[in-house]
Amino acid sequence: MIKKPVRFILLGGFLGAGKTTALMRLARHYAGQGLRVGIITNDQAEGLVDTLTFKEAGYTTEEIPSGCFCCHFEKLLEASGRLADGLEPDVILAEPVGSCTDLVNAVITPLKTVYSDRFDVAPYATLLDPVRAQEALGATGPMGFSKKVTYLYKMQQNEADIVVVNKSDRLDDSAREFLRELVAQNFPSATGVFVSALTGEGFDTLIPLLDSPDEAGRNPSRVDYVRYSEGEVALGWLNARIILEGQAPWDGNFLIAALADGIQSSLTESGVVIAHFKMRLVDSTGTEVAMHVTQNEGAPDLNGRFEAPIQRASLVINVRAEGRPEALHAAVHEGLREIGIRFRLEWTNAEWDAFSPNPPIPPPPERNTVRIDP
């Protein structure tokens, strides 16, 4: 068990806001100070690109699948206990499901009251993608989420102590000012910060806020669980692990770009609104290229490069979107079929799951008064 209160930093935000990149930068910061850092990832299913990314960067990581922290609070305690027993962390960084809200009532409040001997909870920060924020809050953009999903989006920010506008390196002065006004108007109780998780801009402002002794969870929200459920079940999830094997060597850089374009186009044509679409292709030498896209329009971001042709590789695909799971399944399946023909390779799925999340469960009142020691 934890021998002293560990600093617990929960970084929320909607799908595609850049939580993983931000958490990686925070992990490097705290590790650079000589602190032991543990990470807890969270999703509606197993097989996350994010979990693999943290583990391969050398961080002790626990994954809580099959539901959000708020519905699996006991599993969060168990995961933190495993980190304590093995790593004895000074800091735990936790990334909740990107569609999860009511985290102040369901997670932060019990941690800081019932489990104050185990956790020193930081002020709660949520990340915003600037394009998505303008669509959801400012009614701009050609294609945005429905009112059901937008409800989740707004409730996430309503409960934040710190609203963090990410990807600031992509914003000009007028866009910054527009977003600054949107955040101030919509979330007046929160502190607004602009950062770029990619470049590090603004983290010299964000980190002192996270390290401050200010009370966490100062803005609990009254979440309508009927509307919350409607928003959750409107979303589709797809996780797949694929093995690709060619008759002859093929260009992995070209393949992942072509596959991303094909799946993105198919999702758009079927009326699916992309929240976050990630892929990770790894060859037999361990070299990898990662891809992600958070919108229906625009080119995907690619990280890494293969320097030699590939004949066999593993592929992880994560899609989060507003749309039927069947539509996600069809788009990914068709994309794989097309590259199979184009690159003369065969693909087999080691794992494949497409679904809509289960309706969330309100936290029981006794969670804030009754201690559980799993």
Q: Are residues 189 and 305 in the same domain?
A: no
What value does the mean pLDDT take over residues 220-241? 94
Q: Is the pLDDT of residue 2 over 60?
A: no
Q: What is the mean pLDDT of residues 228-241?
A: 94
Q: Are the C-beta atoms of 206 and 307 separated by less than 8 Å?
A: no
The answer to whether residues 211 and 241 belong to one domain is no
Average pLDDT, rounded, for the chain: 92
Residue 168, amino acid: S
Residue 252 resides in a domain = yes
Percent of the chain with pLDDT over 70: 96
* CA–CA gap between residue 14 and residue 132 (Å, rounded): 9
Whether residue 197 is predicted with pLDDT greater than 60 in this model: the reply is: yes
Residues 309 and 214 in one domain: no
63 and 195 share one domain: yes
- Clarify whether residues 55 and 198 are in a common domain: yes
Identify which has the larger pLDDT, 48 or 34: 34
pLDDT bin (cut points 50, 70, 90) of residue 280 is very high
pLDDT value at 304 more than 60: yes
Dihedral angle sign, alpha carbons of residues 303, 307, 310, 313: negative
Specify whether the CB–CB gap between 369 and 262 falls below 8 A: no
More confident residue, 40 or 1: 40
> Where residue 141 falls among pLDDT bands split at 50, 70, 90?
very low
- Are 31 and 147 within one domain? yes
Q: Is residue 170 located within the same domain as residue 214?
A: yes
- pLDDT higher than threshold 70 for residue 227: yes
Residue-wise pLDDT tens digits, 106-128: 999 999 999 999 999 999 999 99
The answer to whether residue 204 sits within a structural domain is yes
* Residue 352 φ/ψ, nearest 5 degrees: -160, 125
Per-residue CA distances from 155 to 215, 305, 308 (Å): 20, 39, 47
Structural domain range at position 309? 235-355
Note the residue count of the chain. 374
Total tally of structural domains belonging to the chain: 2
**Given this model, what pLDDT does residue 51 score?**
76
58-98 tens-digit pLDDT: 999 999 987 789 889 999 999 999 999 999 999 999 999 99
**Residues 69 and 118 occupy one common structural domain:** yes
Instruction: Report yes or no on 87 lying in a domain.
Output: yes
Q: CATH number of the domain that 168 lies in? A: 3.40.50.300
Question: Does 209 lie in the same domain as 183?
Answer: yes
Q: Please give the structure tokens belonging to residue 242.
A: 């694929």
Question: Quick one: average pLDDT of 178-198?
Answer: 95
Per-residue pLDDT of 252-270, as tens digits, reads: 999 999 999 999 999 999 9
The yes-or-no verdict on residue 306 having pLDDT over 70 is yes
End-to-end CA gap in the chain: 10
Average pLDDT on 127-149 reads 80
- Rounded CA-CA distance 42/291 in Å is 20
Q: Is residue 284 assigned to a domain? A: yes
User: Are 63 and 186 in the same domain?
Assistant: yes
Residue 269 is part of a domain; what is its CATH number?
A: 3.30.70.360
Q: Is residue 180 part of a domain?
A: yes
Residue range 268-294: average pLDDT? 94
Is residue 141 in some structural domain? yes
Strand, helix or coil for residue 290? strand
Alpha-carbon distance 130 to 142, whole Å? 15
In DSSP notation, 211-236 reads: HS-PPS--------HHHHHHHHHTEE
147 & 186 share domain: yes
Q: Which residues contact 177 (CB under 8 A, 6 or more apart)?
A: none
Q: Is residue 15 in some structural domain?
A: yes
Does residue 374 have a pLDDT over 80? no
* pLDDT > 90 in the chain, percent: 83
Same domain, 272 and 195: no
The answer as to whether 374 is a domain residue is no
Query: Is residue 180 over pLDDT 70?
Result: yes
